[in-house]
Chain A
Amino acid sequence: MNLARIAAKRLLGAIPSLMGVVVVTFLLSHALPGDPAVLFAGPAANADSVAQVRAHLGLDRSLLAQFLSYVGDMAHGNLGQSLTTGQPVLADLVQRLPASLELTAAAILFAVAVAVPLGVLAATREGSLADHLCRSTVTVAAAFPTFFVALLLVYVFYYLLRIAPEPLGRLNDVYFEAPPALTGFYLIDAAVAGEWTTFRGALSQMALPAVSLGLFALAPIARITRASLLTALGSDFVRTARACGLTRRKVLVTYAMRNAALPVVNVLGMVFSFVLGANVLIEDVFGWPGVGAYAVKAVIQSDYVAVQGFILMMATLYILLNLLVDLLSIAADPRVRMEG
């Protein structure tokens, strides 16, 4: 099978998950206790006005009819109106999504860049100081409450050392202007436009949130890298390669690491789930203007339409990321392709 066909097949395979997600978000909002009509009508409403609101919102129809119109609206890109911002939820989310994506991508890059070398170092020198360091880092990092670590970093780097900028958003708008929107990623946009001072400004704002989010993702990646590389290094083909007199480098990079790559790629699926969740907490701490902070505000103000849109968007994003992990794992290990 060629890659495009596999990709298409996996994409089709994601459809049941997507449908499940739509059903769950619908059920969460409609089949549960609490009456949205009372909420929408406000505290001063009487029975009549509540009934009016209910009819207006279509809440007096059967659950199935409501579901169908919900799906229909969604197909037209209508996720409803946010109660708090008064804007269509989709527009709100799309406007804030690049900020969240940029932060998440930076965090994952940081985590992979630290965790993989750490895991490799630990596995090639099993029992050494580096190995112990790796294992203790992994154990400690797995216990980090992201939001607490984020606050600690802010305290140390902003309050004590005065190196980091104030933890408020993506760019200090007193000194900087947002770069011309191209991708919505400030770092990329600023680099494309050649505005290097803005680039530095955005980078310094992003460093702390990305690191605190990345620390959280570091533990599983380092642990799996170490474990799977150890397995590969102990295997017959590595022994054979060594016996044939290949260089250490060749044995490690070409033989062992290539074979150890698959579990590492697969664990990324789980890491994405953690990071997308923890993103919410980090955005809350750093005043990051992304979808997570938007959702927290919406949850606190019982703006369920907005929360629903957010959950739907995150689940879709997560399914797409898992698809990416699938394709990466095919690239990492051709044997996966055979299983179809």
Chain B
Amino acid sequence: MAPIAPLSAARPLAPPAARSFASLRAVRYALAENRLTLVAGVLFCLLLLCAVLGGVAAPYNPLATDTTARLQPPTTAHLFGTDALGRDILSRVMVAARLDLGMAVSAVAISFVIGTALGAMAGYTGGVVDAVFGRVMDTIMAFPLFVLAMGIVAALGNSVLNIILATAVINLPFYGRFARAEVNVRRDLAYVEAARMGGNGAVRILSGHIVRNILPTMAVQASLNMGWAILNAAGLSFIGLGVRPPTPEWGIMVSEGASYIISGEWWTFVFPGAALMLAVFCFNLLGDGLRDVLDPRRRT
């Protein structure tokens, strides 16, 4: 074990340096406990790199067709092979990371912000607001969620933006209910009473005192939710919603490659599908790791 900082010196006031040191140790502990989290961290960096630099780093133009090189198996020139139009699959998989992760991150961000705000309000005020909020969340949860997402995209129109909206709507109850429950148990705690006595208004108490305290658990929820959001968005584009060809996106690439299964051109769907799976895997593991650091009681 590495030498530990002299805690006794840091204890009286816990200066920021010591505090961040302690949280760093928690991160290191979680990583040592579960090596998979480390693997997920590396994967995450790789995905992020693809999402940011995919367009520059890709060996070929993801949209450039080449009819002389149709359906080529993986070679050194085309590591992941080429698709039916001779496009380089590796480049398409790399460039697609931005769209796939972008859709999932935006959807999760929307439901995180709106869900937390509405849930916190409902949990804090109670009464009619709470009852209406509960009813609306129940109604969303009364649908099989992917089916609801399909319906929303079908009704709003077939676009990427609507895929994001639909994914955000079906994720809303998870954050809303969670925030509501967490705020509800805290609203009469001593520190909240004290803040109220100090003359703070509801908005200030919620944002400055209560929500700040539930953010770590909410963040865990969000990271555990990311993988599901990716699957959902990719599933919608797999059945032909939202993303239009020739845009590179993992779901639609799997769907395009599916027609070549019966003739054995496996690389057309295996690589985009594997990328999708790794991304979901990575976020699930990161979520577990984050939970171990921020919210160890919820381990199962």
Contacts and interface: CB of A to CB of B under 8 A. Distances in A.
Interface of A: 16-18, 20-21, 23-25, 28-29, 32-34, 139-140, 142-148, 151-152, 154-155, 158-159, 166, 223, 226-227, 272-274, 276-278, 280-281, 284-285, 295-296, 298-300, 302, 304, 307-308, 310-311, 314-315, 318-319
Q: How extensive is the interface on chain B, given as a class?
A: 35 or more
A276 B151 CA distance: 14
A32 B155 contact: yes
Contacts of B149: 277
A298 B276 CA distance: 26
A145 B273 contact: yes
Contacts of A25: 151
Contacts of A155: 261, 264, 266, 269-270
9 contacts: A16-B138, A28-B152, A139-B36, A139-B281, A155-B264, A280-B150, A296-B240, A299-B240, A304-B155
A24 to B, nearest CB: 6
B238 A318 contact: no
Nearest to B266: A155
A325 to B, nearest CB: 13
Interface SS, B side: helix
A91 to B, nearest CB: 20
Contacts of A272: 144
Contact of B261 (A24, A28, A154): A154
Given A145-B234, A158-B261, 19 more contacts: A18-B142, A20-B142, A24-B139, A139-B281, A145-B235, A147-B251, A151-B261, A151-B269, A152-B273, A159-B264, A274-B146, A278-B235, A281-B146, A281-B235, A296-B239, A300-B241, A311-B147, A314-B143, A315-B142
Contacts of B155: 28-29, 32, 34, 304, 307
Interface string B251-295: 100110110011010100110011011101100110010000000
Contacts of A319: 142
A273 B254 contact: no
B227 interface: yes
Contacts of A273: 141, 143-145
Contacts of B296: none
A151 B280 CA distance: 18
Contacts of B276: 145, 148
Contacts of B269: 148, 151, 155
B142 to A, nearest CB: 4
B22 interface: no
A280 B143 contact: no
B51 to A, nearest CB: 18
B151 to A, nearest CB: 4
A273 B143 CA distance: 7
Given A148-B269, A159-B261, A20 B157 contact: no
Interface string B143-180: 11111111111111100000000000000000000000
Most chain A CB within 10 A, of B239, B274, B278, is at B239
Nearest to A277: B146
A226 B150 CA distance: 33
Contact of A315 (B36, B143, B254, B261): B143
A-B complex: 10 closest residue pairs judged by Cβ atoms: A277-B146, A20-B139, A148-B273, A276-B144, A143-B281, A28-B155, A143-B280, A17-B142, A311-B151, A227-B300
A299 B147 contact: no
Given A145-B276, A152-B270, A318 B154 contact: no
Most chain B CB within 10 A, of A16, A147, A302, is at A147
Contacts of B274: 148
Contacts of B257: 151
A294 to B, nearest CB: 12
Contacts of B145: 273-274, 277
B135 interface: yes
A298 B239 CA distance: 11
B258 A151 contact: yes
